[in-house]
Structure 1
Amino acid sequence: MAHDHIHETHPDIVKRLQRADGHLRRVIEMFGEGRSCLDLAQQLHAVEKAISEAKRTLIHDHVDHCLDAAANGPGKATKAVLAEFKAISKYL
């Protein structure tokens, strides 16, 4: 791991992902139960939305805290901060 750190948002992100994991497991069970495609699509959409929100929160937190601190603090050059922003923004 390049950086060992935890942000205030990480516990909330983990909770969201755990909830999404539970929903996904339920969707898999629903397939076995022969549930309707509408029910399955609706539940898959909810799982996808939860994961997307977790990712968005993580990226925004990184931009707000890590990159801001790196850009305004001693150490990292502007090029390195910009490169890191470009790298993480491809996941938006």
Structure 2
Amino acid sequence: MINIRPVSDMRNKFSEIEETVLKTGDPVFLTKNGYGSMVVMSIEQYAALTDDIELKLDEADRAADSADIRYSGDEMFKRVRGRIHGRKEL
């Protein structure tokens, strides 16, 4: 179940939020004035979300270091859009 709490609970009930995040492994969504403000999660949860991205970025850096071809931002986005829409633009 999604756990939504007011942002003031970070100040007033931090221990409860910490316990929820660490025991259940689920994030806690905080609201301010009825709107989403932030998400609190454990380091392990954060790592699970970002580790694969970090590995892919490292892989892309290594590929860029070994290639002589460079594309401008516009060229790169044109290539990505082409692939998304099924065209093979090189």
> TM class, shorter-chain normalised?
0.3 to 0.5
**Greater relative contact order structure (CA < 8 Å, 6+ sep):** 1
With structure 2 as the length reference, what TM-score do the two structures score?
A: 0.35
With structure 1 as the length reference, what TM-score do the two structures score?
A: 0.35
Larger Rg: 2
From the two aligned structures, give the one with the greater strand fraction: 2
